[in-house]
Structures are given as C-alpha cells and as structure tokens.
Amino acid sequence: MGRLLERWLPKLVVSPLFAVSLFFVYGFIAWTVYISFTRSGILPNYDFAGLIQYVRLWHTPRWYVALTNLFVFSILFIGVCTALGMFLAILLDQRVRAEGAIRTIFLYPMALSFIVTGTAWKWILNPGLGLEKVVHDLGFTDFRFDWLVNPHMAIYTVVIAGVWQSSGYAMALFLAGLRSVDDDILKAAAIDGAGPWRTYTRIILPNLRPVFLSVFIILAHLSIKSFDLVIALTNGGPGYATDMPATFMYSFAFQRSELGTAAASAVMMLATILAIIVPYLYSELRETNR
Amino acid sequence: MARASSNRRKTVVTVLAWAIGLLIFFPILWTVLTSFKTEAEAVASPPSFINFHWTLENYAEVQSRSDYFRHFLNSVVISLGSTVLGLIIAIPAAWSMAFVPAKRTKDILMWMLSTKMLPPVGVLIPIYLIFRDIGLLDSLLGLIIVLMLINLPIIIWMLFTYFREIPGEILEAARMDGAGLKAELLYVLTPMAVPGIASTLLLNIILAWNEAFWTLNLTAAKAAPLTAFIASYSSPEGLFYAKLSAASTMAIAPILILGWFSQKQLVRGLTFGAVK
C-alpha cells in the first residue's frame, strides 16, 4: 500500500492541476470564442450568429485606432527596452560598486504597479505642471511637451512610461546572460588581442541569442497585454486616441455592454499572441527534448 | 598604472550607473515627496524639492474621505490569501515534478508557463459571467480564487526551479538511513525548501498586490484593493496630486521596503528564476 502510494502520489498531485489549468485556460477560451460568434450584448446569448461580431469589430474605427496604437507601441517599446536594457546590462557588467542595490533600483518600476506609479508620470507629463513647465521656467519658452493631451502624440507618452517600467527588467535578463558567457572564451579572446568592442560584437552578443529571444517574447506579450499603463496614464484618452486592444475590450465589455464584440476583440488578441508564442514554444521544446 | 586607470574607470561607470538609477527612481521619489506637500505646493511652479511645508494632512484626508485603510486591508487579504492558497496547491506538484520527474514533466511545465502569456481578456468574459451568476463579483473570495489561478503557473515554475537545486543525493542518503516518505518530507526536504518557498511567497504577494486587470474588472466599491481604489480615485477627483500621491505612497511603501530587504529574492523572482 505504502509503495503503491509512493509511486502514484507524484502523479496524483500533478494531475488535478493539469486538469484545472486545462479547463480554466482552454475551457474559458473556448467559451469566449463561442460568445464571439453570438449576438451577446449586455447579457450572453448562445444562439450561433456567425461572423457578425467580427464584421462589426472590423467596421469599428476605434478598433483600428487600438490596433495602430498596439503596433506603434510594441515596436517602440520592444526596440527601446531591448536597446536600453542591453546598454544598462553592459554598464552594470563593468563591476560597478554596490551592484545589488543599483540592480534593485532598476527593477523597482517593474515591481510596483503602474496604476500607482502613474501618479508621478501624470505630473511629469502634464504640460502645465511637469517637464514642460519646468523648462519654461528655466527660460526656454518655446519648448513644447504636450504629448499627454495631444491626440496624435499621446500614445508616445504610454511608450515612455512603458520603457521606464520595463527596461530595467530587460537589463536584469541581459545581465544574467552576460554573466553566463564562458570566461575561458573571453580569456582566449583577450589573449588573441580582441578589444572590448570586438569582444562584445563578435563573441558576447552572438552568445546571447537565446536571451534576446526570451526578452523579445516577454516584451511582446507584455505589450499586447498592456492595460495598466493606458488606464493609469491616459485612460484611453484624449477621446480614444490611446486605446489599446486590452482597454478596447474592457470598455466594450463593461462600459458599452457589448459582450459579443468584446469577445471578438479578445479572440483577435489571443490569435496574435498564439502566433508569437507557439513557434517559440515549439522550438524551445524541440531544444529540450533533443 | 593599469590598476589606477581601471579604478578610475570603475568610478566613472559607478557614477553613471547611479545617475541613471536616480533618474529611474525619480518618479517614485517624487510621489513620496508630493504626498507631504499641500495641494497648492504640489502644483506649484517652480516645484520645490525639500523646502516646502511638510504636512501629513493628505494622509489623514485620504483616510477620512474614503476609508483608505479598508482598501489597504483588502489588498493584504487578497494578496496573502491567493498566495497561501496557491502555495498549498503548488508545493506538492512542484515537489513531485522536481524529484520524481516523468518523461514529459518539462513539457508540462513549459506549457503551464505559456498559459500565463495568454492575454487575460481571453478568459475575462466567462469568469465575469460565472462570478455574476454565483454572486462572487466584488467579493474578496472571488478575487483570491482568480488571482490564485492566474499566478499558479508562476508559483509552480518558481518552486520547481528552487526544488531542483536541492541535491538528490541527500534524499538517497536519508532513504539509506531508513527514512520513510513522511520523514523525508518533514525533516529533509522541508528545511531545504523553505528559502525557495519564501521567495516564491514574496514574488507572488508582489504580483497579486500589483494586479490591476482583474481587480479593476471584478470589483466595485466593496472589495476593491488599492490598485482599483487608486485607479478610481484619480479620474473623478480631478487633479488632487497631493492626496493621490499620499494614497500611492502608502500603496508602494510595503513593496519598496520588502523588496529592499530581500533584493536577491526580488530579482530572482521577477525574472522567474533566470537571474540568481
């Protein structure tokens, strides 16, 4: 009896978890997908109605604004975070003093909710109070920084805040990668007379390929999920100029009570994320099973 | 000569790194400073750094106007509740995956972790509908359950990476000495697993504490934790920077302090074990 228990217990404690995740994640996703094929409004309705919600979604100008914003935001967010993160990682890799403390400070923005830290950002970006006002007071009265209230530029304030929040995080991942590069290779390169620039571009960066990939995946899924940033900073405004798919979905589901359209937008987001992570997971699993 | 120049370089790099650190820390510092100003000073120009009239009235005001402490308690209950519940479920699973790995264990873990990447909007509508029908909307219990489920993959993954570092030989030695499953768990594994469990606890409390998507979508006035409260506070009340800063400062202070005293665990946790 004891032996049997010992053999089956490990499987027994894992399988309910497996079942719950399977149901919770995929069951509910299937449910959402189904709702996206119905006429659900404020109440769910389970009569199949075909693609009507998708047609409506793709005829909503606001959805295009959300998609364009997502596109602009992700490209800038991923690009700048990666570059800044790499720069900061190389900086910290020079064995600075009190590295642990600096690393923690760099990571603080990620450890705090942006709903809360957004307060200071609203002050900094407010043209009448923050950066613009301070520069004006210094005498540079031509200086313009009204992005927060400018519908064409507001999305870039979300990018700034996002970069502030996540580049320290990218730094931490890159730093771990830099530290894991084999010391012997670096010594050999030094003996062969490679300078720091060549060492970085020819040896260290190519070695970091897997780290780049995971940083990309993490930042990409963060940008598609980004919700707090927009809610805290602009609440989607001015108008709906800074809407992103997640806030679009939120506002359609709960403010406008159009569950069906909201579900359709959720399905579009799911499909986008799947298109990114499935190939990644596939290659990752092939690696580990080899 | 070489040593002197490398020392100087080290100083330059350190100064640069701290300058950037200060820049990154500025918004947080500014929130804390603003919370001690009067509303007039909070929007004054030019802004003052320390030579303003320090006051605690914003804190008193926030509390008396909107019962801040209740939302604070909601945050505590939700983050602790979901974390403890998650750990109870995850510890046995992570233990079995780390010490009795099956052929597919790694795949299952990767798959579980991948579900965390899916956008929560994908499951929002069903959960909202279920919660509405069984009366869990705007309830602490509902949020505890949802946050536990949302963070479970991360809890398991973190515990797994920690448990895996416990050397298997110790188990074998204990077995040789005749320790049964119970003794093995109680006297050998548990003491070695405590640091990993503590770090996972810390990480998950932070994640749950910061959670905004679910708390905003599933709560109203009653069960709203700090994130939902502050989000609601900032819009209709207009630009009350000082009071908003006071509310924000109290919301970030626990994490700032907790994080500072457990830097290693914080870094490792936030990077899901990638940075040791």
CB contact at 8 A, A228 and A115 = yes
Q: Can you give the residue range of the structural domain that contains A90? A: 62-257
Q: Is residue A276 part of a domain?
A: no
- Using CA atoms, how far apart are residues A17 and B90, in angstroms rounded to an integer? 8
- Say which residue, B174 or A165, is predicted with more confidence: A165
Quote the mean pLDDT of chain B: 83
Sign of CA dihedral A109, A114, A119, A121: positive
Interface touch A228/B213, C-beta < 8 Å: yes
If DSSP codes are grouped into helix, strand and coil, which group holds residue B262?
Answer: coil
Chain B residues with beta carbon closer than 8 angstroms to that of A285: 107, 110
Q: Is residue B16 part of a domain?
A: no
Q: Is residue B19 part of a domain?
A: no
Q: Look at residue B1 and tell me whether its pLDDT is greater than 50.
A: no
- Using CA atoms, how far apart are residues B191 and A152, in angstroms rounded to an integer? 57
Q: How far is B153 from chain A (nearest CA, A)?
A: 9
The confidence band for A224, taking pLDDT boundaries of 50, 70 and 90, is: confident
Write down the pLDDT at residue B42. 79
Interface touch B34/A102, C-beta < 8 Å: no
Q: Is A115 on the interface with B (CB under 8 A)?
A: yes
Instruction: Give A30-75 pLDDT, tens digit per residue.
Output: 988 988 898 888 877 788 888 888 988 898 889 999 999 999 999 9
Chain B residues with beta carbon closer than 8 angstroms to that of A10: 95-97, 99-100, 102
Q: Is residue B213 part of a domain?
A: yes
The confidence band for A282, taking pLDDT boundaries of 50, 70 and 90, is: confident
Q: Can you give the residue range of the structural domain that contains B75? A: 57-270
- Using CA atoms, how far apart are residues A277 and A274, in angstroms rounded to an integer? 5
Instruction: Give A137-171 pLDDT, tens digit per residue.
Output: 777 777 777 788 788 888 999 999 999 999 998 99
Residue partners of A104: CB distance under 8 A and separation at least 6: B259, B260, B263, B266, B267
Chain B residues with beta carbon closer than 8 angstroms to that of A133: 45
Mean pLDDT of B231-247: 73
Most confidently modeled of A176-185, A244-253, B59-68? A244-253
Give the amino acid at A6.
Answer: E
- Using CA atoms, how far apart are residues A193 and A202, in angstroms rounded to an integer? 13
Q: Is residue B45 part of a domain?
A: no
Q: In percent, how much of chain B has pLDDT > 70?
A: 94
- pTM for the predicted model, two decimal places: 0.85
Number of domains chain B contains:
1
Chain B residues with beta carbon closer than 8 angstroms to that of A269: 119, 121-122
φ/ψ of A48, rounded to 5, equals: -65, 130
Q: Is residue A263 part of a domain?
A: no
Mean pLDDT of B143-151: 90
Number of domains chain A contains:
1
CATH of the domain at A217: 1.10.3720.10
Write down the pLDDT at residue A74. 93
Q: Is residue B25 part of a domain?
A: no
Q: How far is A180 from chain B (nearest CA, A)?
A: 10
Q: What angle do CA B130, B132, B133 make, to 5 degrees?
A: 65
The confidence band for A78, taking pLDDT boundaries of 50, 70 and 90, is: very high
Q: Is residue B26 part of a domain?
A: no
Sign of CA dihedral B226, B228, B230, B236: negative
Residue in chain B closest to A231 (alpha carbons) equals B231
Q: Is residue A122 part of a domain?
A: yes
Q: Look at residue B120 and tell me whether its pLDDT is greater than 50.
A: yes
Interface touch B96/A123, C-beta < 8 Å: no
Q: Is residue A25 part of a domain?
A: no
Its ipTM equals 0.83
The confidence band for B276, taking pLDDT boundaries of 50, 70 and 90, is: low
Q: How far is A111 from chain B (nearest CA, A)?
A: 7
Q: How far is A36 from chain B (nearest CA, A)?
A: 10
DSSP label at residue A27? I
The DSSP string of B174-230 is HHHTT--HHHIIIIIIHHHHHHHHHHHHHHHHHHHHH--HHHHHH--TTT--HHHHH
Q: Look at residue A125 and tell me whether its pLDDT is greater than 70.
A: yes
Write down the pLDDT at residue A22. 78
Write down the pLDDT at residue B180. 76
φ/ψ of B21, rounded to 5, equals: -60, -40
Chain A residues with beta carbon closer than 8 angstroms to that of B138: none
Q: Which of B100, B121, B210 sits opposite A113 (nearest CB)?
A: B210
- Say which residue, B154 or A2, is predicted with more confidence: B154
Q: Is residue A271 part of a domain?
A: no
Q: Which of B45, B117, B210 sits opposite A273 (nearest CB)?
A: B117
The confidence band for B238, taking pLDDT boundaries of 50, 70 and 90, is: low
List the structure tokens of B166: 């416990």
Q: Which of B30, B123, B267 sits opposite A25 (nearest CB)?
A: B123
Write down the pLDDT at residue A250. 87
Interface touch A104/B260, C-beta < 8 Å: yes
Residue in chain A closest to B18 (alpha carbons) equals A102
- Using CA atoms, how far apart are residues A154 and A151, in angstroms rounded to an integer? 5
The confidence band for B122, taking pLDDT boundaries of 50, 70 and 90, is: confident
Of A113-117, A195-199, B145-149, B237-241, the least confident: B237-241
The confidence band for B236, taking pLDDT boundaries of 50, 70 and 90, is: very low
Query: C-alpha dihedral over A210, A216, A219, A222, to 10 degrees?
Result: -100
Q: Is A267 on the interface with B (CB under 8 A)?
A: yes
Q: Look at residue B4 and tell me whether its pLDDT is greater than 80.
A: no
Chain A residues with beta carbon closer than 8 angstroms to that of B255: 111-112
Q: Is residue B1 part of a domain?
A: no
Of A82-86, A186-190, B205-209, the least confident: A186-190
Write down how long chain B is. Answer: 276
Q: Is residue B39 part of a domain?
A: no
Instruction: Give A67-76 pLDDT, tens digit per residue.
Output: 999 999 999 9
CATH of the domain at B111: 1.10.3720.10
Closest residue by Cα to residue A146 from A165, A162, A164, A130:
A130
Q: Is residue A166 part of a domain?
A: yes
Instruction: Give B75-112 pLDDT, tens digit per residue.
Output: 999 999 999 999 988 888 888 888 777 777 777 887 77
If DSSP codes are grouped into helix, strand and coil, which group holds residue A143?
Answer: coil
Which of residues 146 through 185 in chain A touch B, CB cutoff 8 A?
Answer: 164, 168-169, 172-173, 175-176
Chain A residues with beta carbon closer than 8 angstroms to that of B180: 2
Chain A residues with beta carbon closer than 8 angstroms to that of B108: 14, 18
Mean pLDDT of A116-127: 84
